Amino acid sequence: MRDNISKLYSLEQIASALKEARHNKGWSQRELSARSRIAQPQISRFENGDVDMQLSSLIELARTLDLDLQLVPRSAVQAVAAVVKEREGEAEEAALRKTLKRLIQVVSTFEQTHPHLTSILHLKDAALEVEEMAYILVPKAANQVIGGVAQRLEDLATTKKRSPARFSRDIKAATHELRTLRNIAVHGQGLKQMPAYSLDEED
């Protein structure tokens, strides 16, 4: 019974990791299927935990997603997991910096096209405050929020037919969302988890 539970949990972990890697690349199951030459229904069944995928197919999916399968000594599993988690954290922080740069760029565009609008100045202030506090935000969650705001602002910037009322409403909504994120950081709800101890470099 214990072996069955262990096997099921491991398969769920693998399926979840592959699904997350696919989402991180922005691929649909259909696109992953085309790239890996594995049928989309088979990918769907595996991600849903409905089928135990053949090892050869699993290896092909992993490699297509820039992952690799390794047999790790059980005694080293925790150490490997810690390294992977650290690398994932670094990747999430890099993604957040990239998204923040994208946000600042689109805000600068509005500042150039509407230099005298108070709402744009408020938007710029909110964006800069979030940028300054990025180091205490949870990267993955913050990246989703900021990315969504940046995307809506980019869409607004490229929309030719827009009413002044809609423009003002969308700018204020983006400002409000950024300020909400800032407030979360200020009140500690979006703080990174700090280590329990640190080692001094010098005595």
Residue 191 lies in a domain: no
Kind and range of the H or E element at 100? helix 77-113
- What's the chain's length in residues? 203
Closest CA to 18 of 61, 69, 74, 60: 61
Q: What is the pTM (predicted TM-score) of this model? A: 0.62
Same structural domain, 95 and 174: yes
**Is the pLDDT score of 199 beyond 50?**
no
**CA dist., res. 47 & res. 16, Å (int):** 7
**CA dist., res. 130 & res. 76, Å (int):** 39
Domain limits for position 21: 2-69
Same structural domain, 58 and 88: no
The CATH number that applies at residue 36 is 1.10.260.40
Residue 181 lies in a domain: yes
Contact status, residue 150 vs residue 104, Cβ threshold 8 Å: no
pLDDT classification of 8: cutoffs 50, 70, 90: very low
Contact status, residue 59 vs residue 36, Cβ threshold 8 Å: no
The larger pLDDT score, comparing residue 36 to residue 52, is at 36
**Is the pLDDT score of 64 beyond 90?**
yes
Residue 203 lies in a domain: no
Contact status, residue 172 vs residue 121, Cβ threshold 8 Å: no
Q: Which tens digit of pLDDT belongs to each residue from 147-179?
A: 999 999 999 998 878 888 889 999 999 999 999
Tell me how many domains the chain contains: 2
Same structural domain, 33 and 108: no
Q: Which tens digit of pLDDT belongs to each residue from 68-120?
A: 888 878 888 788 778 878 887 888 888 899 999 999 999 999 999 998 899 99
